[in-house]
Structure 1
Amino acid sequence: MTGTVHGSPAGGTVGGQAPSAALAGRALGAPLRGEYDVAVIGGGISGVQIARHAAGRGLRTVLLEKVDFGAGTSSATTKAIHGGLRYLEQYDFGVVAESVAERRFLAIAAPHLVQPRSFLLTAFDWSAPKAPMLGAGVALYEAFAWNRNTGVPRDIRSPRFRWVGRRNLLRRAPILSPDGLTGAWRHDDTLNLHPERLLLALVHSFTADGGTALNHAEVTGLLRGADGSGAVTGVRVRDSLTGETAAVPARTVINAAGPWVQQALGGDAPQAGVRVQQAKGVHLLARDMGLTDSLYVRGRNGRHVVVSPWQGRTLIGPTDTPSAGSPDDARTEVEDVQLLRETLDSISARPLRREDVTSTIVGVRPLVATNGDTYSTSRRFTITDHAQQGLDGLFTVTGGKWTTGRAMGAQVIDRVIAARGSRLGPTRRFDSRRLPLSTSFGDYGTVAAAFDAALRRVPAAPVPQAVRLHLARLYGTAHERVLALAEADPRLAEPIGPGPDIAAQVVYAVTDEGARTLADVLERRLVIGTLGPVPEGALRQAAALLAGLLGWDEAGIRAEVEAYRGRLDADRDVLDEVFAR
């Protein structure tokens, strides 16, 4: 069984200090116990892919995340697995080539969560570069992806790029202003339908290979050798839910905490000299604007914006602006919304209104530190071996992006194994390029055939076909576990809110996916919390289910609901202020 939560404490002690029962009991995969070959800090896409490749190479690995898997930057995305067409403008051909290759590998690994999406690269008579130059750029981009359909299921393969004329474009994208519009180049990238679920699928693949994954486990500093060498021998961990602490010994520590790389090292950060450039990315979640494809447009202010149809809604963004201070404090601000509004309004048939926008999404990208602006900074990653700073056994990874996470994970572990040698013990080969994730469906030839087979699983579960399809897409083969819960207790087939989510998903989130808070469940296990403000009834329904599973009393329920509602209220206040101007 992949990703099982072990409900009892692991045996033994950890670094001479027994972990709390809560911390050990939350471990996904192997129990938390003993010394590790590798401890990875950070449960975003970078940390998860690094941990996955460490376990795949046969190394005993623990993954530690301070909040929840994907709770930071990795869930605040444009929902795209893309090669980065705009990086051609920056002559960053290496990132583009790697990205289009990795896009294909993700489609092979998880075709139930990754699917084609057409993008319309729009051209106005006032915009630069002009349409012919844009076409040349798209042609070059397509040349990098010459084998984009090799090994990909037949029904999610991408067609070649083509020109879309003005009249046809306005039918596809009625929000565009016809003033000066000449047309668009249509090309295909890939939709990351539910980044939170794809990340969890990667976590399950990691644990299936023997890894241990822990959320709500904040790394607060490093363990150092008692022999005076200063070598790193593990990490100090604080249970974010109980406040208890533990020591987790590890031969090698890889710091992949994204914008939190400095905080994770505690008092050792100055010695390590870790530096990251933060870029805040804000998206608006708006009503359905009638788009059939994603728009990639440059506004009159020179900024790019992607406008995408997604789950019956429209996603607008991102911003890409410098961010200072703690990433914990990152919030959508009036200036962020105003920038997106200004960019979109400059190419729209009508201005964006308050009633169009339901909520915002914010994340902080951990870019490689340079002296340039965040908008043009490369999305490459760097890995630093801190042995020269007297921190032998510590590595830090900065930069990177969702699309190239697999390649980054493989390259980081190759580098660590080369540097650490016999101190890590024997390793094995592991090639993840064409490897399906542990919960992906088998080779059905097409995704549609896989879903058709899934609809016939656990036939006694009282769940309609639309919900079965929803579960198959979210969970892959693990959807049968969710259906089995509904079969055993028909009350768990009841919907959570107005969408296709059901109560059984809440139970499964706790028992098999490590969820421990209302936000964990609504925003990163189910879909309802990603679609805008959760209705009050659904909020309380989910909280009541969690209370029974996690032992919350009335005060605990109230605290969780109020904390969740507080974030929604702050978001609403910013939107109200912007559109009142």
Structure 2
Amino acid sequence: MQRDVQAMAAQSYDVLVVGGGITGSCIARDAAMRGLKVALIERRDWSSGTSSASSKLVHGGLRYLKSLEFGLIRESLAERRIWERIAPHLVRPLPFLVPFFKEGLGQRLTLRAGLTLYDWLSYDKAWLDDPEQRLPGHRMLTRAEVIAREPNLDVPGLTGALVYYDCQMDSPERLGLECVIDAMRSGARAANYVEALEFLRDGAKVAGVRARDTLNGTEYQLRAQVTINAAGPWADLLLQQMDNSPVHLMRSKGIHVIVPALTKTHALTVQHKGKHFFVLPWRGHTILGTTDTPFQDHPDAVRPGASDIDDLLRVVNEGIGFTRLTSTDVRHAYAGLRPLIDDGSSSSYNASRKSEIVDHGDSGAPALFSVIGGKWTTSRHVAQQAVDLVQKTLKLPLTRAATSSKPLPGGNFPRRAQFRADVDKALPHLSPEVREALTRLHGSAYADVLCHAKDDPGLLSPVSNGVSDTGAAVLHAARAEMAVTLSDVVFRRSGLGGLGHPGRAALDRAAELMARHHGWSPQQTGQQIADVEAQFPMAAH
């Protein structure tokens, strides 16, 4: 996985994808697997925007039952099973509790009817070879059963709960990265840190983009027969040069905070004052989220503010009854933007999460499409629809790639339990924590990481005490995963930054290894560390 913008610009393509979040990455993977000549560019790093700022769920969207979006729910549930199948190392089942606090019988019956429909819409949830991946149906739990599972829910007023199942991603960033890697293995060319500046035209037809390599300032022309704008919250900004763009986005800001563990193994879905929030177990901690507020500023400016964090903590404290969380409990916080279709809704919370593919030929820009809205979970299916339109535009026979069945690079193993046992047997010299990090983030491709320690076994040790990411993983990111900056490694290739500031020793060691590969000066290395530390809003350095 090598970055070469000059070589990329020396060719022309069937399709150019602008935007390397999960949607653009899935489009590039699908198109390359169908045999199209594909280029993919991203102005920052892969999955560094909305795709990295999610609740880390692959789910149907239980709350969409309220708005009767049965088609979206069914699509999401079908895609949930596909992600389990093609990325078993990164996507796993997660049990959810919906606790009841003296609700009336009518409310319980309504929710149970909703979950019955949710189960029915996911009728294929058990169609997986690995028993560990098959999701059970929902059921009612008594108060005693709830407390046995989650002792912290032993609070006055609890009367019971419903348990249901969805899925969680260990790393949405790596899942997006593996889609890019797979696209490149199928022949696509891709480069991060390349910004699209304006569309190229052959008459009225859009023929690609003028782009700038943001690492050195060099500008290039990237030409393609079809261009797809998959820039997420930045999509309408890219289209501003067009006179009559039909794309109108509503940007919704969502924040998440990470605190010490509040539950043992179950997530909580909590209804509160007409909305909902999640309490999600993750890496021995808890993710709380999310908020949903309209955002009017430039997308680059989104940050988790102190008032955002305080508001979320207040809602959580009120909603679950057993916490007294304050900002001192917050280990990390992150924010992102949902690019929603502006359907005139007065509330971003109630706006649809459906996707839309806009054909700009209808507004005087043939061969340009924009993919707007949508959910993380449905990105693969949306990509399939987008590439169908590419083939139609190019007057090619409609074919289908095996994106729903071909495992991603780290997903080549049949059953999770057997895979874990095989790794334990093959790597007894590594600590359980290092083995777990290797297999959780790299899956069956873990040997590609280990080879970087062939001449220096010390690289198999964690980069510092208290973390499980190794020096070999840092070098692998720099050498083989297009990690250009220290931020790329800390936040999107490893688990170093996922729980907040990992400690200065970890950053220093990772920066030392990155500097060795990229040839950074001491001043450049120091700036890389400073750039990373600026992204930890809650850090006590």
TM range (shorter): over 0.9
1:437 partnered with 2:414: no
CA distance in 1, matches of 2:129, 2:497: 31
**Higher mean Cα deviation, 515-524 or 493-502?**
493-502
Which residue identity does 1:519 align to in structure 2? Answer: S
Q: How does 1:28-427 map to 2 (within 5 A)?
A: 33-126=10-103, 130-176=107-153, 178-225=155-202, 229-265=203-239, 267-268=241-242, 270-299=243-272, 301-346=273-318, 347-372=320-345, 373-418=347-392, 420-422=393-395
Secondary structure of residue in 2 paired with 1:267: coil
1:254-296 CA distance string (max 9 Å, x none): 001000102334633x443432110111001111123320000
Q: Secondary structure at the match of 1:501?
A: coil
Aligned with 1:450 (options 409, 419, 428)? 419
Go from structure 1 to structure 2 and tell me whether the alpha carbon gap of 1:129 and 1:359 turns closer, same or farther (over 3 Å shift): farther
SS at match of 2:497: helix
1:518 aligned to which of 486, 492, 502: 486
The answer to whether residue 485 in structure 2 is matched with residue 508 in structure 1 is no
* Letter aligned with residue 305 of structure 1: F
- Contact preservation (8 Å) 2:434, 2:462: no
Q: Distance in 2 between matches of 1:278 and 1:572?
A: 27
Matched residues in 1 for 2:525 and 2:394: separation? 50
Matched residues in 2 for 1:143 and 1:59: separation?
37
Deviation at 1:469, TM superposition (A): 3.5
Q: How far apart, CA to CA, are the structure 2 residues paired with 1:189 and 1:65?
A: 30
State the secondary structure of the residue aligned to 2:535.
helix
Stretch moving more, 344-353 or 131-140: 344-353
Is the partner of 1:529 in helix, strand or coil?
Answer: coil
Hey, what's the Cα distance between the residues in 2 that align with 1:169 and 1:477?
36
Q: Tell me how far 1:451 sits from its aligned partner.
A: 2.6
Q: Which secondary structure does the structure 2 equivalent of 1:69 belong to?
A: coil
Deviation at 1:207, TM superposition (A): 1.2
- 1:564 aligned to 515, 532, 536, which one? 532
Q: Which runs of 5+ in 2 are unaligned?
A: none
Q: Distance in 2 between matches of 1:166 and 1:382?
A: 43
Quote the RMSD (CA, aligned, Å). Answer: 2.0
SS in structure 2 of the partner of residue 567 of structure 1: coil
Give the alignment of 1:458-497 within 5 angstroms. 463-497=430-464
Q: Deviations over 1:146-194 (max 9, x none)?
A: 1201124122221221112223323433444723322111011111121
Structure 1-normalised TM-score? 0.88
Any conservation in 2 of the 1:298–1:305 contact (CA below 8 Å)?
Answer: yes
| Residues 285-322 of structure 1, C-alpha deviations (whole Å, 9 max, x = no match) | 111123320000012x3321100111010000011111
From the superposition, tell whether residues 212 and 352 of structure 1 become closer, same or farther in structure 2 (CA, over 3 Å): same
Alignment correspondent of 1:12: none
Which deviates the most, 535-544 or 177-186?
177-186
Kindly tell me: are residues 131 and 493 of structure 1, through their superposed partners in 2, closer, same or farther at Cα, counting changes over 3 Å? same
CA deviation vs aligned residue, 1:224-277 (integer Å, no higher than 9, x gap): 11xxx2211111111122222111111110001000102334633x44343211
Please give the per-residue CA displacement for 1:81-117, whole angstroms capped at 9, x wherever unaligned: 1000000011111111111111111111111111110
CA contact (8 A) 1:220 1:266 kept: no
> Aligned with 1:123: secondary structure?
strand
Q: Deviations over 1:333-384 (max 9, x none)?
A: 2332233122211122232123321111111011111111110111110011
Residue 279 of structure 2 aligns to a residue whose secondary structure is strand
Take 1:519 and 1:339, find their aligned partners in 2: how far apart are those partners?
Answer: 28
Structure 1 stretch 178-187 or stretch 406-415: which is displaced more?
Answer: 178-187
Q: Provide the C-alpha distance between the structure 1 equivalents of 2:457 and 2:266, rounded to a whole number of angstroms.
A: 39
Secondary structure of the structure 1 residue equivalent to 2:454: helix
- Partners of 1:338 and 1:58 lie apart in 2 by 50
Question: Is contact 1:294–1:309 with CA below 8 Å preserved after alignment?
Answer: yes
Report the more deviating stretch, 463-472 or 516-525.
Answer: 463-472
TM-score of the superposition, structure 2-length normalised?
0.95
Q: CA deviation at 1:128?
A: 9.9
Contact 1:462 1:486 in 2 (8 A): no
Structure 1 segments unaligned to the other structure (5+ residues): 10-18, 25-30, 574-581
1:472: Cα distance to partner?
A: 2.1
Look up the equivalent residue of 1:245 and give its one-letter code.
E
Kept in 1: contact 2:30–2:383 (CA 8 A): yes
Alpha-carbon distance between aligned partners in 1 of 2:129 and 2:304, rounded to the nearest angstrom:
38
